[in-house]
Chains A and B, each alone.
Chain A
């Protein structure tokens, strides 16, 4: 077996990992973060010899790509600003938060051996003493204490969809409070876990919130922000009953000129929030 064979085997890894690694490109198709990709737009590159039908389709498709994406962003902006769309009648469901995070993170931060110049240092080999099994505390390049994050989940009443004689949500609204001393940002991809027959939490649905720019996902220290998570089309996989939302939270040291720009990341948490679907 060669490296090429191993590469081909890796091609079949779990879909979630593939999506996770390039989530920003997937969710923001117009603004690519890749320097190589940016050098040649698929909308402008010459179309090679292809069957007539393909050429016709691609000629129709490609010139309109940017326009469609821009229109989608504009509509989303109007919706988010409340200009279009109905007012939500929320049912507040306070989720369970990890109250032991504060002390645990402090412990982890103060005991991590620093490796000069290596931003990938983690708590490998340490016991962060997290209270819930499915949660993790992973600290990268710790510099100071970052505190906790509070998450509450609301289900807009008018966004529920009938399924199996009951109602399941098509949208979740997350209210996130940064109780730390540094700004944070939330990753775009979320995981919803379901409790198995043995009581263990298992990944059930991976979904993402509506396209939001990076700075809209940033929350300053002490601030509260609301993020709407559209869970269509995955609503077919939803269930009624207990659920656990896993979201990835990154604390960072901000750029002195713009707090929504990252100077360097200082901590990464996987945050668990329990609620009822």
Chain B
């Protein structure tokens, strides 16, 4: 007697259950869809507002949401300090590993971990690498009127060239120190400039002769663009595995062959330069559910190919050479698996006691 009303009552329930099963069956991410829907992802940037990392994070934040099921909002939070160690510590041990907090640290933060810094409370190898936006290959250039025309001149020079750098641990500092270690050259590193722009002025004034810089910055900005036109500087070396066609100078790897660098120093150079492979990296904390890591990796991959993002990056003179999360994870593992003698050397070059 109650059969019909009961049927009526059950029908919507059955229908919805059926439709749910149907919809979710072919698409495993539907559960995750409901996870990210209406939530907010936070990118914790380990550097201050307005810099290159901050701009890259904000660029990603504007496009990445549309490639994550549920289209979450993405916001950027700056947590500068101690070369991104503060931010990495936070995401590793304080933030919930729920895939809602992403870390964008300085690419050289791995060196702090590698050199056994006691303030480091994170392990980059236990975190999940989501992707990276660029490669930061560097180069060393020198004023054309300096007596040193090539690295060979520098090695043989009585008076070493003066190179302006920002500080111990800065990429520009690391480049000249690695060249010294691998070729036996002597470079007078003048430390303490506030930034690469101030070093450029110092080069122009003749206060220093040489400077280490990312290749991308050099070919993207004044006064370097004018320098290229007037042949104001020449290139001594570059750090990529392969030569950048714009830079007329040998790679460190070529130089290491030429100067028969011993194995330990070679490993040192490779370890310290591998950060160039993952500029603007993004990671999530250990224990983040696998499927969310996958969603984020896929989204990052798609975002870095988004035509609108690429157009905007081009206008901003930001190169995009994205790295895939899984590959970066393997690369980081290689870079950070070093014998004790190499680690000793790294401590010497990247010391923060």
A and B from one complex: no
